[in-house]
Structure 1
Amino acid sequence: MARQRFRLKELFQKEPQYYHATFDHITHKINAQKKKIPVVLLTDVYLVNDLDKKIRLVNSNDFKDKKGRHIVADYLWVKLTKPWFSLPTQLVPGDEIFFQASVEQYRIVRSDLLKKRDDIWQQAVKERDQVYKRWAKYTETHKRKNFQLSLDKMKAKQAAILKQAKQEQAQIELVDYSLNKLSKIKIAKLVNVPQDFERGNYNYNWYKRQGYKYSAWLAAHSMELLKK
């Protein structure tokens, strides 16, 4: 089950921070306008300073990399934007970069979270109905000195139950967090590649002229090394 990236949530709507991540590959996603846009999969995302020195995290709920080191996200999808094309060479799986970025929030739809929210509400409705049944049963067999006052108290208790349920539902957020507006992208480490593999360079002018055709070639090229 995916977990919310709470570390990024803490940085949402704050000043851009520096991050260190491992490049995986380029692919495409369909946006709201039904257009294919190039995106990059980054893994093992660390929080660092402007010198690429990792900032120590100690929360037990942190994501962790394979070595058990605390990270802000195990993976992220980010857009392939103009700053990427300033890199001196194309990246291949395993290369590491560091960069500055802002945190963005986006809506998610997950059946497990929706079920949790629905379960909270159904339980609250059940408790609300039980309050009425107990009140009604007592009213049938006992003469209340102030019927209206007891009725108002019963309704207030029902309202409090539903209010509490709504508050608990709100704590189960249907949002998560990623990185956006990447800038100052620099190479931290390049993996060794076979002699017969040519990294090549990114070309923003080609991307502007050819669009998807060029980004599709970049996507295929970023995966080519894995086939060797």
Structure 2
Amino acid sequence: MARQRFRLKELFQKEPQYYHATFDHITHKINAQKKKIPVVLLTDVYLVNDLDKKIRLVNSNDFKDKKGRHIVADHLWVKLTKPWFSLPTQLVPGDEIFFQASVEQYRIVRSDLLKKRDDIWQQAVKERDQVYKRWAKYTETHKRKNFQLSLDKMKAKQAAILKQAKQEQAQIELVDYSLNKLSKIKIAKLVNVPQDFERGNYNYNWYKRQGYKYSAWLAAHSMELLKK
């Protein structure tokens, strides 16, 4: 989990909150049904109230961006859903919006995190085996007054090592958090665009009729300004 997103983790399964974010661009991802789904990249996401006033966060772990804002995510991918089409104009990179949304949790599969978890376990197994070897070596050369008691203590120490490893593994979560069910999307700030660039409007009926063809055009159009 990205370290800025612990706030989203806290808001998971809670009431929807308001967020402010910067629009980057539209693209597509492939879902489980192998269908192309339009998604939006948002950056510099922070909490606000329903009037778009920034909510001050005071946790020592809160992450600050270059402007000193306590952001809950440096970037998020969200679905391009019906509420987007109610905006009065198409967005271009750098435009800012605020909206209401819920937090969703999703599983992640990252080789680096899996390796960290595996390394923790392998190290624990190594330490467990060393505990036994030390105990066995001492037992061979020394007469123990209470063999069973020493054996039980050794096994308890081994169990504690593995228990600690499992706890450390659990801290490396294979989940992350994002935003879902966006609603009440409003424009906070529009960047200036060249006179020869036409923003255009979103059209939900076109999207319903044309699907990917229309969302692909929106994706290309959202990036067109960067080429100028």
Give the structure-1-normalised TM-score: 0.95
Deviations 1:159-183 (CA, angstroms, capped at 9, x unpaired): 1110111011101111111100100
CA distance in 1, matches of 2:34, 2:64: 35
DSSP 3-state at the match of 1:5: helix
Tell me by how many angstroms 1:144 deviates.
2.2
Q: Which runs of 5+ in 2 are unaligned?
A: none
Tell me by how many angstroms 1:44 deviates.
0.8
1:30 aligns with 2:5: no
Q: Is the 8 A contact 2:46 2:69 kept in 1?
A: no
Q: Is the 8 A contact 2:43 2:74 kept in 1?
A: yes
Which segment drifts farther, 90-99 or 68-77? 68-77
Deviations 1:14-38 (CA, angstroms, capped at 9, x unpaired): 1100000011110001111111000
CA distance in 2, matches of 1:4, 1:188: 23
Tell me by how many angstroms 1:153 deviates.
2.0
DSSP 3-state at the match of 1:38: strand
DSSP 3-state at the match of 1:178: strand
Deviations 1:49-86 (CA, angstroms, capped at 9, x unpaired): 01100001234443333323221111111000011011
Tell me by how many angstroms 1:98 deviates.
0.4
Q: Is the 8 A contact 1:57 1:71 kept in 2?
A: no
Q: Is the 8 A contact 1:4 1:176 kept in 2?
A: no
Q: Which runs of 5+ in 1 are unaligned?
A: none
Aligned length: 228
RMSD value over aligned CA atoms? 1.6
Q: Is the 8 A contact 1:21 1:98 kept in 2?
A: yes
Which segment drifts farther, 203-212 or 153-162? 153-162
Tell me by how many angstroms 1:204 deviates.
0.8
DSSP 3-state at the match of 2:10: helix
Query: Percent sequence identity over matched residues?
Result: 100
Which segment drifts farther, 164-173 or 140-149? 140-149
Deviations 1:168-204 (CA, angstroms, capped at 9, x unpaired): 1101111111100100101111111122211111111
Which segment drifts farther, 25-34 or 143-152? 143-152
Tell me by how many angstroms 1:4 deviates.
5.6
Tell me by how many angstroms 1:225 deviates.
1.1
Which segment drifts farther, 209-218 or 127-136? 127-136
Tell me by how many angstroms 1:223 deviates.
0.8
Which segment drifts farther, 213-222 or 59-68? 59-68
Q: Is the 8 A contact 2:90 2:201 kept in 1?
A: yes
Tell me by how many angstroms 1:150 deviates.
2.1
Q: Is the 8 A contact 1:64 1:70 kept in 2?
A: yes
Tell me by how many angstroms 1:2 deviates.
5.1
Give the structure-2-normalised TM-score: 0.95
Which segment drifts farther, 50-59 or 104-113? 104-113
Which segment drifts farther, 148-157 or 25-34? 148-157
Q: Is the 8 A contact 2:4 2:63 kept in 1?
A: no
Residue number in structure 1 paired with 2:215: 215
CA distance in 2, matches of 1:135, 1:119: 24
Tell me by how many angstroms 1:111 deviates.
2.8
CA distance in 2, matches of 1:16, 1:178: 12
CA distance in 2, matches of 1:167, 1:221: 48
Q: Is the 8 A contact 1:22 1:43 kept in 2?
A: yes
Residue number in structure 2 paired with 1:189: 189
